[in-house]
Amino acid sequence: MIETKREQEIVDELKEKFGQKIIETKVQKPRRVFVTIDSNSLIEVAEYLAHEKGFTHVSTISGLDLGKELGVIYHLIEESDLAITLSLRANIPKENPKLSTLVKVIPGSVLYEREVHELFGVIFTGHPDLSPLILPEKWPSGVYPLRKEWKVEDLKAKINRMRK
Amino acid sequence: MSESTYTVPIGPQHPALKEPENFTLTVDGEEIIDVKIRLGYVHRGGEKAFESRTYVQNMYLIERVCGICAMAHQLCYVNNIESMMEIEVPPRAHYIRTIVAELERIHSHLLWLGVAAHEIGFDTLFMYVWRDREISLDLMEEITGNRVLHAANTLGGVRRDLSTDIISKLRKGSKIIRERAEYYKKIGLTEKTILKRAAGVGILPYKDAVELCAVGPTTRASGVKKDVRKFDPYSAYDEIPFDLITYDSCDVAARIYVRVDETIESTKIIDYAISHLPSGPIGVKAPRSVPPGEGVSLLEAPRGEDIHYCKSNGTDKPERYKVRAPTLGNWASMARMLIGGYVADVPITLAAIDPCMSCTDRMTFVDANSDKTWTWSLERLRKHAKKFYGR
């Protein structure tokens, strides 16, 4: 029997404290927890995890194209000898992709948010500087290359035009 | 990587060797007061490319993320996919993976030590270190067939077994590397050239290292006890005893000592692994497709924590594959290290996080008093540093 008691405890505590704001949880295996939350409660859940539960390290932020929605996953790591990696996901509509910045809670998320902003078009409200980080200077606005509607061929055509 | 993937500037940014990146430093005389980072000059669109290739093809593409830590990325990838496929890798394969991963750490740390020596104008040390680094590259060639881009893994195990001949070569090689690393440690602790340029330079306090989520030797040199091999063990690391190295002086010197000590630990891990090598098969057959789901894989690459995220949809290609290489985790901390320091210390401070070197190829300076801007190449910057320190 694989031991996942501590992982289950964290999930139960989150459910108890935030109730309806926790949409989905999964304890996948030892040290791997996935939690989906209501996007409006991102900051309070992240603050609770960082300040009360020791999830102070944001390892990275992954963007995800889910069709009509965009998923933003914060991979948080606990301060512990055997640390749990908690992937905290917030889904936001593609039409209006806005999410509060996590920079005030965990300053290390500053570059990762810029990356997701650029490649998925998520706007992190309150972020100190969302200027281009990765894509070329003349990159057309509104083209978010990791969204599924942008096929490799379309992007190639865009880039070739940009070079001219 | 094929030509077409080079021409698509989309996807993640991978801090790899000889990568051009741009930092705009705001300076007041010699002192740096602000740093702005612009990445992406060699953005190859890897994450988009993963989505159109099969899991087997991606295993080789993922190695191309970084030429120095190819094994680290591939191991992180196969760990992730194998776990999602729910296949059990035989213990012998885990041990062989551990040995190759540690050889890679040795080669990367020694490469870094040589580069750091070069940055402070100590080229004799650079030559000696790179000579010794050859041992680890030759051993990796013996085991995998390649000095770099080893393709040591396959889904379900490793490609090649260790023969008794290779094991005896490993034992010899690891002994030489350990002796040399101990000698370099002695030099690092006593040689004035190093102390003058490294002690008290590029300070990253403990609190900042934690807040800015620094990773790897950079964070351990600020006293943070964080190593994926300990806190989220993979391969054979839960069975092999080794020390987690930290130093408290938070400067470039500490980053040197952490890496030299880790090189010594790596040789001990290799010695332990070859004397406790389990017998049995080196791999199992893996399916072609991955059931729908998601997986997160962590790994301690030579430069620090590497994280991969995969979302599968039941086919033989991933829906989404995300890679965050360690250097990206350290840029924010590096900006903090530079602020308040001298322009002359820029090369060694940049080098000290072990980014892939030419990150510093272009530097733009902005004078805080006159708004005048000018650009120096790394070579020009290095000359300035030598002149400033009277060498």
Q: For B332-391, how does the pLDDT look when each residue is reduced to its tens digit (9 = 90+)?
A: 898 889 888 887 787 788 778 777 533 233 344 455 556 566 666 667 777 777 777 775
In CATH, the number for domain B87-282 is 1.10.645.10
pLDDT of residue B206: 96
Chain B contact set for A134 (CB, 8 A)? 12-13, 39-40, 43
In degrees to the nearest 10, what's the CA dihedral of B329, A144, A72, A92?
Answer: 150
Cβ atoms < 10 Å from Cβ of A88: 23
**Residues spanned by CATH 1.10.645.10 within chain B?**
87-282
Mutation test of the interface with chain B: which of A3, A62, A105, choosing the one with the most B Cβ atoms within 10 A?
A62
Mean pLDDT of B55-82: 93
Per-residue model confidence as pLDDT tens for chain A (164 residues): 578 999 999 999 999 999 999 999 999 999 999 999 999 999 999 999 999 999 999 999 999 999 999 999 999 999 999 999 999 999 999 999 999 999 999 999 999 999 999 999 999 999 999 988 888 878 888 899 999 999 988 888 888 888 77
- Encoding tokens for residue B30? 């010699």
Q: Give the ipTM of the model, two decimals please.
A: 0.95
Q: How far is A43 from chain B (nearest CA, A)?
A: 16
CB contact under 8 A, A81 and B213: no
Is residue A65 within 8 A of residue A81, CB to CB? The reply is: no
Give the pLDDT band of residue B17 (cuts 50, 70, 90).
Answer: very low
Tens of pLDDT, residue by residue over B107-143, are 999 999 998 888 888 889 999 999 999 999 999 999 9
pLDDT of residue B28: 78
Residue of B nearest to A163 (CA): B7
The total number of structural domains in chain A stands at: 1
> Residue B305 in contact with residue A59, Cβ under 8 Å?
yes
Q: Is residue A100 part of a domain?
A: yes
**HSE-up (13 A, CA, CB side) for residue A113:** 25
pLDDT for the residue B173: 97
Query: B176 vs A76, B132, B267, B273, B377, CA distance in Å?
Result: 40, 8, 9, 17, 37
Any CB–CB contact under 8 A between A109 and chain B? yes
Is some CB atom of chain B closer than 8 A to the CB atom of A66?
no
Q: Which amino acid is at B127?
A: M
Q: What is the pLDDT of residue B369?
A: 57
- Nearest residue, CB atoms, A136 vs list B9, B48, B307: B9
DSSP A97: -
The partner residue sitting opposite A155, judged by closest CB among B8, B83, B212, is B8
- What's residue B331's pLDDT? 86
Cβ neighbors of A69 (< 8 A, separation 6 or more) are A91, A92, A93, A94
What's the pLDDT score for residue A123? 97
Q: Among all chains, which residue has been given the structure tokens 């790897």?
A: B216
CB A104 within 8 A of CB A159: no
Which tokens go with B93?
Answer: 């394969």
Question: How many CA atoms lie less than 13 Å away from B333 in the CB half-sphere?
Answer: 35
Query: What pTM was estimated for this model as a whole?
Result: 0.90
Residues from chain A contacting residue B295 (CB–CB below 8 Å):
28, 32
Structure tokens at A122: 């998520």
Report residue A119 as tokens.
Answer: 């490649």
CA B48 → CA B9, B288, B319, B328, distances in Å?
10, 20, 10, 18
pLDDT on residue A132 = 86
Confidence at residue B391, expressed as pLDDT on a 0 to 100 scale: 56
The pLDDT score that the predictor gives to residue A33 is 97
Q: What is the mean pLDDT of residues B227-239?
A: 96
Tokens of B257: 């000592």
Name the pLDDT band for B20 (thresholds 50, 70, 90): low
Residues 221-250 of B with CB under 8 A from A: 226, 230-232
Q: What are phi and psi of A62, to 5 degrees?
A: -105, 135
Nearest to B320 among A64, A132, A145 (CB): A64
Q: What one-character-per-residue DSSP string does B165-227 give?
A: HHHHHHHHHHHHHHHHHHHHHHHHHH-HHHHHHHTT-S---HHHHHHTT--HHHHHTTT----
Average pLDDT over residues B85-108: 97
Per DSSP (E only), the strands in chain A are 22-29, 32-37, 57-65, 69-77, 85-93, 98-100, 123-125
- Which of A145, A77, A71, A74 has its CA nearest to residue A113? A74
Instruction: Give yes or no for a contact between B97 and B235, defined as CB atoms under 8 angstroms apart.
Output: yes
- Between residues B359 and B88, the one the model is more confident about: B88
pLDDT of residue B375: 65
Is A59 in CB contact (< 8 Å) with chain B?
A: yes
Mean pLDDT of B289-301: 96
Nearest to B216 by CA among B267, B254, B249: B254
User: What is the pLDDT at residue A3?
Assistant: 85
- Tell me whether B10 touches chain A (CB under 8 Å): yes
Q: Which residue has the tokens 């490294």?
A: B198
Non-local CB neighbours of A109 within 8 Å, separated by 6+ positions: A58, A61, A74, A101, A102, A103, B213
Provide mean pLDDT across the span B17-37: 72
Buried b (16+ CB within 10 A) or exposed e, A107-141: bbbbbbbbbbbbbbbbebeebeeeeebbbeeebee
Kindly state the average pLDDT of the residues B167-175. Answer: 97
User: What's A115-148 look like in SS3?
Assistant: HHHHHHCCEEECCCCCCCCCCCCCCCCCCCCCCC
Q: Is B84 touching A (CB cutoff 8 A)?
A: no
Domain of A130, in residue numbers: 5-134
Confidence of residue B327 (pLDDT cuts 50, 70, 90): confident
CATH label of the domain that carries residue A89 = 3.30.460.80
Distance from CA of B40 to the nearest CA of A (A): 4
Instruction: Indicate if the pLDDT at residue B29 is higher than 90.
Output: no
